[in-house]
Amino acid sequence: MKRVLAWLVLLSWIVVPAQAFANYASFFVVYEDHVYELSSETVDEVGEKLGEVTEYADRAEFYSGNFSNAYEVGTAYYEIPGVDPSEKIAVEESPGVYIVGTRSVEFSAQGVQESQLSTQSIGSIFSFIVLGLIGLFLFRRISFRKNNKKEEDLEA
């Protein structure tokens, strides 16, 4: 029983920080304040260079400009011939290899801050619930043992 309790405590200490500092759910680049989710789809031809990654961000924080959670600073964005850049762009994964990024949502500091807040809140609530349940379990177990010991002492 002590082993199970120890594992629960250890697990709660490991899981809560992982949720409070969650990484992004998918790989993306930000171009002109919009998130472009990256896929495995590739294109052979690209048009004019639109920009490049100016900041690498692997945590849910706000960065201005063109940034990515997958590509290093300097990675180029290109238009795809015949496709409006407000729908899709090409990202140079390696020399001559371009993957498609599909526009999904507008990127804003408020959205990221709200996302961070909700993730941290979930982590805190989870932490309090787990620790509260462990505390309640320990309290009941100790109380039960004390009552049993008193009854045994009275019978003897």
- Tens of pLDDT along the chain (156 residues)? 666 656 655 556 555 444 334 345 678 899 988 889 999 999 999 999 999 999 887 665 666 678 888 899 999 999 999 999 999 999 999 999 999 999 988 876 554 444 444 445 556 666 767 777 887 788 788 877 777 766 666 666
**What is the structure's pLDDT at 20?**
39
Rounded CA separation 108/113 (Å) = 9
Please say whether the beta carbons of 54 and 67 come within 8 A: yes
Paired residues of 106 in beta bridges: 34
**What is the structure's pLDDT at 95?**
93
User: pTM of the entire structure?
Assistant: 0.55
Please say whether the beta carbons of 56 and 72 come within 8 A: yes
Tell me 17's DSSP state.
H
Contacts of residue 34, Cβ cutoff 8 Å, sequence gap at least 6: 86, 103, 104, 105, 106, 107
Structure tokens at 19: 């949720």
Structure tokens at 60: 């849910």
